[in-house]
Structure 1
Amino acid sequence: MNHLKLFVAPLKWHGIKLLEKQDIARRVFLHGQRYVSSGTSEPFLSASNSNYVEEMYYAWLENPKSVHKSWDVFFQNANAGQAYDPHLPDQLERKASFLQSHGLAQTPGKAEKLVEDHLAVQSLIRAYQIRGHHVAQLDPLGILDADLDSFVPSDLITTIDKLGFYGLHESDLDKVFQLPTTTFIGGSENSLSLREIIKRLENTYCQHIGLEFMFINDVEQCQWIRQKFETPGVMKFTNEEKRTLLARLVRSMRFEDFLARKWSSEKRFGLEGCEVMIPALKTIIDKSSEMGIEYVIMGMPHRGRLNVLANVIRKELEQIFCQFDPKLEAADEGSGDVKYHLGMYHERINRATNKKITLSLMANPSHLEAVDPVVQGKTKAEQFYRGDTAGKKVMSILLHGDAAFAGQGVVYETFHLSDLPSYTTNGTIHVVVNNQIGFTTDPRMARSSPYPTDVARVVNAPIFHVNADDPEAVMYVCSVAAEWRNTFNKDVVVDLVCYRRRGHNEMDEPMFTQPLMYKQIHKQVPVLKKYADKLIADGTVTLQEFEEEIAKYDRICEEAYTRSKDNKILHIKHWLDSPWPGFFNVDGEPKSMSCPPTGISEDLLTHIGNVASSVPVKDFKIHAGLSRILRARLEMTKNRVVDWALAEYMAFGSFLKEGIHVRLSGQDVERGTFSHRHHVLHDQEVDKRTCVPMNHLWEQQAPYTVCNSSLSEYGVLGFELGFAMASPNALVCWEAQFGDFHNTAQCIIDQFISSGQAKWVRHNGIVLLLPHGMEGMGPEHSSARPERFLQMSNDDSDAYPEFSEQFEVSQLYECNWIVVNCSTPANYFHVLRRQILLPFRKPLIILTPKSLLRHPEAKSSFDEMVSGRSP
């Protein structure tokens, strides 16, 4: 039997030096051995009891009076390093006999039972922390288990007889037990009766909130969550907060009711059954604003989108209502999109904090979750341009449906970007509208995991499940989620377990496929009435005040409806989610139709070439093979010629001098798949020491970001597309490892890049670098599929620009994107330069070479790149 082994893992919040703890642990271990009787097979201080002793020890360190006197004496002697006394066991035995004879001490068996009972209570507490969510009352309908399993874990005390699992009995319920430091259910008390312990654990973990967090491998983070939810009395709201919550519920529900009355036969994908989502989002935004957030970027599917636009983003109601008018004429270019796909950008004052806040809801296609990486990319860009490296000013919120969150692979890809240095947004708050159905598909057929949110476990994101018919529980969870993100800069998931009062859309009949569920839904009292009745009953509001709040919002909707009839023209640009102030004229058109020459001075070419051929950091040892490459670059610069890699270097470098940020992302782009780029140098003698020469071109220059991505195309291309949305004054490039690999990102290409401007009047200058060439690598490595891009190219067949000096630029403006196959390095240089110098932004698809990267004939002279020259 192993004896006591304690205190080898430091707990951060105690601030104890590891070496000091190890020394104390050694002394406590030796001290404990004195009390081990050689005649017992299971010593009192054995390894099986070490966890409990460790808890007592940490409690004693914080406050010696918080533990029993016997533990206090034990730890004092251990810390003092008391010398071993061979007569001590005999002395203790005589003392114990004396105490027992006078009824002043327990027998060794009773003492061991006492410790075992304390250990059992500690295990019981841990069981609730780990598995309490399995029995939480999460379903508002009361008919489904949120985790798809009606099994009750045997270590949760749902009945008295289950105490036997821990070796406890009903007679132990009123015994008082010392609480471990890994729980906060005691509040200011250090010990509680077993009955009270179970009661408080059930209140915390088994009511309307289900917490999944014990898988997180950071003890401090687990302690933080425990304190937020276990501390008695934490979930209390003032009367003013309750009244605000009620008013927000009124707006959420009456908005849906108003649309249903006015346009009963229109699809709108209403929020009925999860009306609490509106106050939930507003709580997150209020709390985040309070902690310093100035800009919130959101992405969401169709469900409840109009309600979010109206009551969270605060889009003018008449602009929403006029979307239902089929006679409205479009004033802008393009096809437009259905109203529940449109985005919005709005700056306003947050009433809860009286601070300015900017809200952006990204437009998105019907392809569920496709917008996730786009939101993250735009958030990263906004943080980058503000110097917000810690994410304290800009944040993202992503809303999901339960079926899509579990089913769409891009969710997983996006999560795996969350902690990568060049992609992190310092934490995203995910809100899942878990209506327990996917169109007509039952959850048991839609996922293999217990919860739709289990994908979040891969990044140690805590998951807070909450019954959406308990508005106060939802508000508290959302407030904690905002604090978590601000404290730890990590993702967090709020799972709103709710229901869908109507079909998938308002014209759909759900009774065909979910008859029993919808029989219950038809009986379900709306959350607004439930909460209003509660507040009226406790005197927080009166019935008259409640009715006046309803009448007030109904009047606002009616007045907006009247004004909406005056709108005869639909302006899609009013729904723009990413405006570029000052880039276009007041009508949203280019300020000119001309493009300046794309060449640069020879001095500039020479300077960039020299830096590209050097190591601008002292005492930096590079690979011998790389030294040869740099010498070859220097020789080319002296001879006034460039190859493909050097032409790219010069185009990028010229932008940096002009203050244009350049970002290059993709798999292995730092070196280049074909080992031609080498934009990041690695010290051969110092691990992880790197140098990016392009960031050493000038003292005053824009930064250059080159970053190897995760092995993902869909997620990473979506991210870079979002990054390019934030500003027109940046060259954002994504490179496929081989051209054919872009097809795993086809959804981003089809739904955002090729058609985004037509649907949402959204310009974007993303650059796709696609290696192309039939060079013996087989059918999957040979072609960037240019025919697909050409097939998706589009312009107005009825409009043909007049021949003039502006003809070429006007022709490019009429296209949805630009597809090029450069034949020389100089072509490549000019095409990249033109991408920024054009008075508008179009996606640029470049078919780049493979063998030509090193072909001795594939070189261009400086003469083809100097000032005055263009492609």
Structure 2
Amino acid sequence: MSVSALLVGKHVPELNPEIYGLSLEELLPGKDLSLHDLAEQLKLIYCGKMAIDFMHINNWEERQWLAQHFENSVNEVLSNDEKVKLAKLLLRCENFDNFLAVKFPTVKRYGGEGAESMYGFFSEIFEAASESGTEQNTSFNLFTLYGVQILIGIPHRGRLNLLSELMEFPTVQMFRKMRGKPEFPDDVQGSGDVLSHLNTFTFATNILICDLFEASSFDYKSPEGTVHITMLPNPSHLEAVNPVTMGKARARARSLGVGDYSKDRSSRVGDGVLTVLVHGDGAFTGQGIVWESISLSRTPHFRIGGTIHLVVNNQVAFTAEAHIGRSSSHCTDIAKAFEYPVIHVNGDHPENVVRATRLAMAYREKFRKDVFIDMVCYRRWGHNELDDASFTQPTMYRVIENRDSVPRKYVNELIHQGLFTEDEVKNEKDLHTTKMLDSYRAIDSTPPVANHLNGYWKGFIQAPAHVQKWDTGCDINMLKYIGAASVAFPQGFNVHPHLKKMHCEARVQKMVDGENIDWGTAESLAFGSLLLEGNDVRISGQDVGRATFSFRHAMLVDNESDLTYIPLNFISEKQTGFLEIANNILSEEAVLGYEFGFSLDHPRRLCIWEAQFGDFFNGAQTIIDTFLAGAESKWLMQSGLTLLLPHGFDGAGPEHSSCRMERFL
């Protein structure tokens, strides 16, 4: 397999036909074709610059589909216009890195050098998604009314290039930050964040779309249509943004009323919203939150219709080579545990990256499952541009030092094909450099901008310096009505005899007496009042339908059929707010990250995460520290996420009784 941009793949003895007693020269039964000829054909298809892992998938239909479409993808020819457009994009991305290296030589920019083909991946996704919003294109029709929404979670590597060259981020604001100028205006409370955590900047011009979202976004426009794209901010903790992006995608589906939230039975999960996650090879293998996040991908209340994953496989993580960074053959082998396909592609060949992307998009559209692209490439510099990688990888970096860049190699191919000239290369670079220089010269005359508290957040303010009180009361008769409705169930529904007496009938009596209101009852009254006001409530965690201490029972289970019923979703025929009970996998970090992302999409939702025991929150400490505690200060993003940390009920001792309240205080 020649997927690697630097190294030769391992020899696989099982592929030698002689160990099965076969000769390469013998003809296949009934065929005028030798085993050697067949093997050579298969090598051309499956062992070239693209390869695919899919035989671990149990579903026969998926395997057949992948084999057929992969074989077609290998032979797909890009048009001349597509090739030239791709080459120009790669040249601009390379020129961007070169410009920063000259003007900001001491800045750690985490450029895309060696992995420039990733921008072909993004360009292809943006173009295909913009086409899907039009009636003319039905082959990839995710959402025909408003256009597709794309949410991106990406780490530091190549992030600035993507923002500048494909997402219209104002480079003057980027350069201001590199110069050390304030990120936000003086009247805005916020510290800002490091350069490599910048996210989408401008807001959509589409008023309907703009009203939906808090995270700053932008509209990608092509002749075929428009797609709304949001790049989420990320912390320095690699892969932590994965579940946050997934959660926001799920919430976006709720805002749009598609997928699991659609009244139209023909709507599929994944309609209208596409999630794209980018990973590094080392972090993807090493960080446990990756496994947790993928474990959520097909579970009820967390599924989002498939994520397209791009692993930028540098073949080294900081200074750790593959044999140190993982115990598996490939960095993407984790995908096999979940029966997701992996497309391996040589990052030195941009056209193959485009082909891999098209295949991934088509698979996701048909099966609504995750799909992984392992783009095997290299990192031209060290972990950052100021780091000398030859200290620890001298052999690898001697090879890299003597290589032409990915854009240069591809442009040379097109020149050889007569599609490009050196004069056109120079002209493309000169135009781009002029644009960069205009932004560079405007640094001192350009003020900072804070695009926040727009859309549904319009009218919200940043937190005041003093404590405020609000009137959160509700009419007593309404509360009694809600309380009775919270334990009502339809005729023929078989409630557990103990629950019927001790929970349902007891709560109705509490509403009559107006006394002995316990936590579970008060919580139901609060939830119900919010639902009747049109606010959604979503509570996630392990066993939250019942609650660890069996006090909630917001979700009743039929004692005969195991069917579930949520009484608070049937308080009134006119209610527009609903309670989502999201029992989940045994995870803290990914689930809390998911709920944080869910909370970002709309302020009129009470999003709650409940620890099974309060002490167990520390399994999600990274999310608490990097997102909950600092999102507004770093990124001006407000969240109403609420943590419930039950503790002390059983007096069970260490890890069950304190919830570490002193840490929060």
CA contact (8 A) 2:2 2:8 kept: no
CA distance in 2, matches of 1:230, 1:760: 44
Shift in CA distance, 373/232, structure 1 to aligned 2, threshold 3 Å: closer
Deviation of the 1:166 alpha carbon: 4.0
CA distance 1:731–1:351, shift in 2 (3 Å):
closer
1:427 Cα offset (Å): 0.4
**CA–CA distance in 2 between the matches of 1:306 and 1:171?**
54
Counterpart in 2 of 1:786?
A: 661
Equivalence map 1:374-773=2 (5 Å) = 374-389=244-259, 390-567=269-446, 569-571=447-449, 573-574=450-451, 580-585=454-459, 596-615=470-489, 617-628=490-501, 629-641=503-515, 642-686=517-561, 688-701=562-575, 702-773=577-648
Q: Percent of aligned positions with the same letter in both sequences?
A: 39
Q: CA deviation at 1:527?
A: 1.1
In 1: Cα distance, 2:528 partner to 2:348 partner: 57
1:221 to 62, 67, 77: 62
Note if contact 2:126-2:227 (Cα within 8 Å) is conserved in structure 1: no
Conserved 8 A contact 2:193-2:635: yes
Residues 24 and 36 of structure 2 are in contact (CA less than 8 Å); yes or no, is this contact kept in structure 1?
Answer: no
Shift of residue 609, structure 1, vs aligned partner: 1.1
TM-score, with length taken from structure 2? 0.90
CA change 1:328–1:780 in 2 (3 A) is closer
- The amino acid that maps onto 1:139 is S
Of structures 1 and 2, the one with the larger relative CO (CA 8 A, separation 6+) is 2
Note the 1:341-360 alignment, pairs <5 A.
Answer: 341-344=197-200, 346=202, 347=204, 348-352=218-222, 354-360=224-230
SS at match of 1:570: coil
Secondary structure of residue in 2 paired with 1:171: coil
Structure 2: how far apart are the matches of 1:154 and 1:286? 42
Q: Confirm whether residue 336 of structure 1 aligns to residue 192 of structure 2.
A: yes
Task: Give, in whole Å, the separation in 2 of the partners of 1:723 and 1:199.
Answer: 50
Q: Is this contact kept in 2: 1:345–1:359, CA < 8 A?
A: no
Cα distance change of structure 1 residues 425 and 780 upon mapping to structure 2, 3 Å threshold: same
What secondary structure sits across from 2:606 in the alignment? strand
Give the 5 Å matches for 1:89-488: 136-141=1-6, 143=7, 145=9, 150=10, 152-156=11-15, 162-172=16-26, 194-231=35-72, 234-290=75-131, 291-293=140-142, 294-328=148-182, 330-331=184-185, 332-344=188-200, 346=202, 347=204, 348-352=218-222, 354-389=224-259, 390-488=269-367
1:207 counterpart SS class: coil
Alpha-carbon shift at residue 199 of structure 1 (Å): 2.4
TM-score where L is the length of structure 1:
0.69
Seen in structure 2, the aligned counterparts of structure 1 residues 232 and 604 have a Cα distance that, compared at 3 Å, is closer
CA distance in 1, matches of 2:593, 2:408: 42
* Distance in 2 separating the partners of 1:373 and 1:725: 13
One-letter code aligned to 1:378: K
Unaligned runs of 5+ in 1: 1-135, 157-161, 179-190, 791-871
SS of equivalent to 2:244: helix
- 8 Å CA contact 2:382–2:389 kept in 1: the answer is yes
CA deviation after TM superposition for structure 1 residue 288, in Å: 3.1
Deviation at 1:586, TM superposition (A): 9.6
Given the superposition, is the C-alpha separation of residues 672 and 458 from structure 1 closer, same or farther in structure 2, using an over 3 Å criterion?
A: same
Measure the CA separation in 2 of the matches of 1:608 and 1:205.
62
Q: Any idea what SS the aligned residue of 2:538 has?
A: strand
SS at match of 2:19: helix
Q: Runs of 5+ in structure 2 lacking a partner? A: 132-139, 143-147, 205-217, 260-268
| Contact residue 235 and residue 473 of structure 1 kept, 8 A | no
Q: CA deviation at 1:551?
A: 2.1
Question: In structure 2, what is the Cα distance between the partners aligned to 1:407 and 1:562?
Answer: 42
Q: Does the C-alpha gap of structure 1 residues 669 and 353 become closer, same or farther in structure 2, counting only changes over 3 Å?
A: farther
Q: Separation in 2 of the partners of 1:353 and 1:137?
A: 36
Q: Is the 8 A contact 1:467 1:496 kept in 2?
A: yes
For residues 307-341 of structure 1, give each alpha carbon's deviation from its aligned partner in whole angstroms, at most 9, with x where no partner exists. 12112322112121221112447423122111111
| Shift in CA distance, 277/324, structure 1 to aligned 2, threshold 3 Å | same
Residues 543 and 651 of structure 1, relative CA distance in 2, 3 Å threshold: same
Contact 1:176 1:193 in 2 (8 A): no
**Alpha-carbon shift at residue 349 of structure 1 (Å):** 5.0
Answer yes or no: is the 8 Å Cα contact 1:399–1:432 preserved in 2: yes
Q: Is the 8 A contact 1:724 1:764 kept in 2?
A: yes
Q: Which whole-Å deviations, capped at 9, do the CAs of 1:25-76 have from their partners, x for residues lacking one?
A: xxxxxxxxxxxxxxxxxxxxxxxxxxxxxxxxxxxxxxxxxxxxxxxxxxxx
**Any conservation in 2 of the 1:177–1:194 contact (CA below 8 Å)?**
no
Deviation at 1:415, TM superposition (A): 0.2
Work out the CA distance in 1 between the residues paired with 2:273 and 2:181. 39
Q: Which amino acid aligns with 1:138?
A: V
Report the alpha carbon displacement of residue 588 of structure 1 after superposing the two structures with TM. Answer: 7.2
Report the Cα distance in structure 2 between the residues aligned to 1:652 and 1:169, rounded to whole angstroms: 72
CA contact (8 A) 1:377 1:719 kept: yes
Indicate how the Cα distance of structure 1 residues 589 and 671 shifts in structure 2: closer, same or farther if over 3 A, else same.
closer
Q: Is the 8 A contact 1:296 1:397 kept in 2?
A: yes
Alpha-carbon distance, 1:747 to partner: 0.5
CA distance in 1, matches of 2:73, 2:173: 46
1:223-269 deviation digits (Å, cap 9, x = unpaired): 11111122487321111111111111112211111111111111111
Contact persistence 1:228–1:234 (CA under 8 A): no
The answer to whether the Cα contact below 8 Å between 1:580 and 1:728 also exists between their aligned partners in 2 is: no
Deviation string 1:125-168 (CA, Å, 9 cap, x unpaired) is: xxxxxxxxxxx112212x354xxxx3x22232xxxxx4433443
Aligned length: 623
Checking the alignment, whether the CA contact within 8 Å between 2:183 and 2:192 is kept in structure 1 is no
CA distance in 2, matches of 1:351, 1:387: 24
Check 1:582–1:724 CA distance in 2 against 1; reply closer, same or farther (3 A cut). closer
